[in-house]
Every structure is written in C-alpha cells, then in structure tokens.
Structure 1
Amino acid sequence: MSDTAIVQTKSLTKTYGDKNRVNRVDLHVEEGEIYGFLGPNGAGKTTTLKMLLGLIKPSEGSIKIFGESLSKSRPSILMRTGSLIESPSYYGHLTGLENMRVMQRLRNVPDRNVDEALRIVRLENHKNKKAEQYSLGMKQRLGIAMALLAFPKLLILDEPTNGLDPAGIGEIRELIKSLPARYGMTILLSSHLLTEIEQIATSVGIISDGNLMFQGKLDSLRAKGRSSIYLKTGDNLTAHRLLLAQGYSPAKGDNQLDFDYLEDDDVAEINRLLVTYGIPVTRIGEKSKNLEDIFLELTGKERSL
C-alpha cells in the first residue's frame, strides 16, 4: 500500500449470502483530492463508505486511512474524519443549534466551530428552528454541518446534494470545492449524478455491481472519450457500400454515417473519395463523449440511474 494515500483499500470485499456487494475494490485517495465515487444506485457505494468508517465489517480485504490500519486504529482515525452517510441523523425536537451542541460535546470542539459550520451551510438564520420543521434540503445541510464540525482532515459524504434545490446544489458544490485549499481537507464523496462529479471532482472511481471499473484523474477519464465523426451525404447507402469496400467501417446512423474515431488525414481522404465517385458530402461533424457516455460504456447501465 502507498504511504502517501489518505484512503487506501486492498481487495475490499463485502459479501451478503452468495452475492458480493463490493468485490475486491482497491481505492486510492491522495491528500487534498476531491475523489468522486460514482455509480448507479445499488452499485456498492454506500456499503464501501460504511466499511471505511467501520460501520460494516469487510468480508475480505484491508483498509488504511492516514496510513493506519482501520482495524487497529479506528478511534484515532475517526477523530480526524467527518462523515455523512445516507440520511442525516438528528433529534427532531431539538433546534438546529441544539443538535450542533450535542455533536460539539461528542467531538469536543470550540463554539466557533459551531458558528462557522452553520455559516458555511447557510443555516445560521435557521439555527433556532426545530430540526423536525426543516425541509429535506435543510436537514441535509444540517448533516453536512455536523460532518464539518471538527473541520476534519478527511470528509466522507454520501450523496451530499440529496434533497437540495438547484441553487442549494450549486452552493454545496462550491463549498466542497473550496474545502481542500481552505481547510486542508481531503474529500471522498459518492454520487449517482454524473454531472455533479464532472464539475467537482479531481479524481474519480466508477463502481458498478460492486466492481471498480475505473479509477484515476478526471482528465484521464475524459481522455477515454475520443471524439467520433459523423458524415452526411447525398446518398448514404452508396457511400456506405463504397467506404466498406475501401476498408473503412462506418455505421449507419439516423440519416448519417458514424465512425468511432478518425484521424484528420482519414477524414480528408474519405471526403476526397466520396467526391471523386460523385457522392456529394453535405456535412462532416464531430461528436465528443462526455462523462456520462464514458460511464455508460464502462458499466453498460441504462441512462436512468
């Protein structure tokens, strides 16, 4: 295992019955990263995060956090870790501030931490309202404030924008992006929202059916999405037959011919070839794959996650 990783697992596995909910996952989260743990619902994200916090015992594998074994140093590790897993825990009959005071006593942090955490999630004007009267989004903000209370070195968030409106999602996104530089935090957050991970993460892990399909820098993932080329002609059927005979492999799309990838020289040659045979080329276009397209290729999942 690496000595520089904040979070590192080796062959992490959780089995229920004869089903591996998490299957030999090797996570690697470096200090200062925002690591996006991406996958559809039921892929194994929450189970993995629970194992990192010692809430679930792994069936196999090992976990190191801050270079220490979780099984041997869990109290020490948790003192430097903040988390929000699944839905926030709170006392409904207490105000937001009173809930924060309860957590303050557990974490043994000063009053200024309470004020700062409430300010960061924009609950300072609602702190005297009972938590049971909070909207779903406000409850989510309270949970994030509790996770931030000790300003931990590692912050683990499970679907942190759940229940927030678009404006709230934007605010939490900007908050999370600011934490590494502002407070020296490393962030590990899960999401099934592909666009959110694309906008916030520096590194990403994609999990599907318990298997880690990709792990690395977001730029490396984007590099997998080489642009495809599409071609429209005055006679797509004849153009398709001609290009096949010349060794190209176009696919017939909706009123166009699609190519997985072509170098510029190939595009020029195809254009010259078609014009030479009297087939007018009406349009040549390029389509770039976004993170969702690459995700679907890696996991084979439907678009409705």
Structure 2
Amino acid sequence: MQAIVSTRGLSKRYGSSYSVENIDLLVEEGEIYGFLGPNGAGKSTTLKMILGLAQPTEGSVTVFGKELAKHRRLILSQTGSLIESPSYYGHLTGLENMRVVQRLRNVPGSHVREALKIVRLEQQQNKKVSQYSLGMKQRLGIAMALLASPKLLVLDEPTNGLDPAGIGEIRELIKSLPQRLGMTVLISSHLLSEIEQIATSVGIIHQGKMLFQGKLDRLRNESHPTIAIKTSRNPMAHSLLAAQGLTPILQDGFLRLSHLTDAQVARINRELLAADIDVLRIVEHKKSLESLFLELTGKERSL
C-alpha cells in the first residue's frame, strides 16, 4: 500500500511544553484512518500541521510522497478538509456558498451538484445556511471539502455536537467515500464507538504522544479476551485449575482466565465435569475499543 500521509518526529511546542511530541503517523491509500484521543490530546494540532495550517517545531510531513514544506500548494489542491467547524456565509444559501468555494478552487459547476448530492443537501440547497440545522451545516462543510474531488479528505471531529441521527448520517457518508470516490479519509474523534464502526486503521494519541497505531483488528488482538466460568463449586474449581498451572481469578461469582484457546476451554470444561463440578456458564468477555483506550492511557476519564 502506498503511504498517502506520513509524518516523522512531528512535534509542536508552545513555550516549554509540547502539544504534540514525536508523532510518526502513517495513513495508507484507500483507508479510513481514525485518529483517536480525548479533548486536548493534540489531534487538531497534528491535523493542522499536516495541512500546513500550523508550523511544526520539529519533524516533517509527507503527503502523496511529497514534502509538505516544498509542495504545499500542489498537495492542498488534491486535499479536502474540515477542521474544527465549517466556515460559511449565513446570509447566503447552501448553493451560493458552494459557488463561492467553486470559484476559489476553480472547479467545474458539475462538481457542486455532485457534492451536494453526495451529502444529501439537494433539497435544501436554496435555503439560507443560517436556517440550517447543525447537522446540515456539517454536511455542507463536508460538501465543500469534497468539491475538488480530493484524493485525501481530512475531517476534524465531524460529528461534534450532532444528535444520534446526525452522527449516523455522517458516519454512513464517510464509510462510503473510499469505495465510492476512491478517497483516503483521515478523521479525528473522541467518540471511540463511532470510530470503531468506520475505521480500518487507528492511531491513539494521549497528551501529545502516540500510544498505538495500526489496523483495528491488531488493536483488538492487543487484549486477549477473558473467559469467565461459573460453577457449582467455585472454590474447588479454583483449586483444581490452579493445580494445573492456571491462574484463575475469582471475581463476582466467576472464575476468570485469559490467554486460553478454544481447545483449552473445552478441556477445562471436561475436567470440571469429571470432578463432579457442574459448569453453569462459560462467557467470553471482549474489550471494547473504549476499554482498550482507557487501558492504554491508564486513566479512567471522560472522553
């Protein structure tokens, strides 16, 4: 896979403290890359440096195989972005706002119609943007970002402040872009459950440092599922399993074990029954992406 975005040692320092420190980010062609972290983690600052909106203190940014510092205009001509919140003229209609961006980007008028269709704003295009709902304004911002048919789309918290229906609309839209338009999407969010539903790869940032980067499946595999076994004689079952070199933890009426294969679980079940210990329940607990995030950061905190 070709790298669409890559950074090396990317850092941003304000005074003596780092907002972003030594970030090596890699976004491959055709993927939806979820950039995760709590508010204030450094997500927006990183995206701004990738777009040339903020000057790195240290490090480099490469987009489409070209250094941003040397080829910024060329790179931005193939990039669409929505950072923090959409910009628009409230007294103009959605269509008029799109025409303004069309002239700035120097693209054909057909692109306006197509972009409005993609974000499902055709029916509201002649309505003043000041009368749009928050979700409609977000979709208009994405339409503006799509106007020049970019190869790379950068979205910073695109579902911020939306109700569940609006979040669902934006999520389905983003999911369709790589296959429908051949785009690569880099999206930041603190809504971990949302990223889990759309991203193919993730990067987790906390206090300006990258804690994890890779395919979503690899992140899930970082934490092995726990097997919880409830028996009719838990203390006796605990002793039996401990004698076999296992380390069960008795918690909430269950014996919990990790790093077990299916064959091991089946064997444990047979041995408990052979010892006249009834197995009442066997449950597999898999950690959600949010649980893994909290485990990585070591903090039980609001996201």
- Does the pair score TM above 0.5? yes
From 250, 253, 256, the counterpart of 2:251: 253
Distance across 1 between alignment mates of 2:169 and 2:44:
23
| 2:226 corresponding residue in structure 1 | 228
| 2:41 corresponding residue in structure 1 | 43
Q: 1:182 to 1:284 in 2, by over 3 A?
A: closer
Q: 1:120 to 1:165 in 2, by over 3 A?
A: farther
1:52 maps onto 2:75 in alignment: no
Give the root-mean-square deviation of aligned CA atoms: 2.0
- In the TM superposition, 1:58-137 aligns within 5 A as 58-137=56-135
**In 2, are the aligned partners of 1:231 and 1:283 still within 8 Å (CA)?**
yes
Q: Sequence identity, in percent?
A: 68
- In the TM superposition, 1:177-216 aligns within 5 A as 177-216=175-214
Spell out, residue by residue over 1:32-83, the C-alpha distance to the aligned partner (whole angstroms, 9 max, x if none): 1111111222211111101101111111100011111111111111111100
**In 2, are the aligned partners of 1:12 and 1:61 still within 8 Å (CA)?**
yes
Partner AA of 2:57 in structure 1: S
Find the residue that maps to 2:123 and give its secondary structure: coil
| 2:260 corresponding residue in structure 1 | 262
Distance across 2 between alignment mates of 1:170 and 1:26:
30
Shift of 1:269: 4.6
**In 2, are the aligned partners of 1:228 and 1:260 still within 8 Å (CA)?**
yes
Partner AA of 1:191 in structure 2: S
Q: 1:271 to 1:32 in 2, by over 3 A?
A: closer
Distance across 2 between alignment mates of 1:278 and 1:34:
52
Spell out, residue by residue over 1:196-238, the C-alpha distance to the aligned partner (whole angstroms, 9 max, x if none): 2122112111112211111112222222242211111223344
TM-score, normalization by structure 2: 0.92
Shift of 1:274: 4.1
**In 2, are the aligned partners of 1:22 and 1:211 still within 8 Å (CA)?**
yes
Distance across 2 between alignment mates of 1:247 and 1:146:
61
Partner AA of 1:113 in structure 2: H
From 156, 159, 167, the counterpart of 1:158: 156
Distance across 2 between alignment mates of 1:182 and 1:266:
44
Partner AA of 1:87 in structure 2: S
Shift of 1:168: 3.0
Please list every run of 5 or more consecutive structure 2 residues that lacks an aligned counterpart in the other structure.
none
Distance across 1 between alignment mates of 2:209 and 2:82:
23
Partner AA of 2:232 in structure 1: G
Spell out, residue by residue over 1:2-39, the C-alpha distance to the aligned partner (whole angstroms, 9 max, x if none): x9311010011112233222111111111111111112
Shift of 1:169: 2.6
Distance across 1 between alignment mates of 2:262 and 2:181:
46
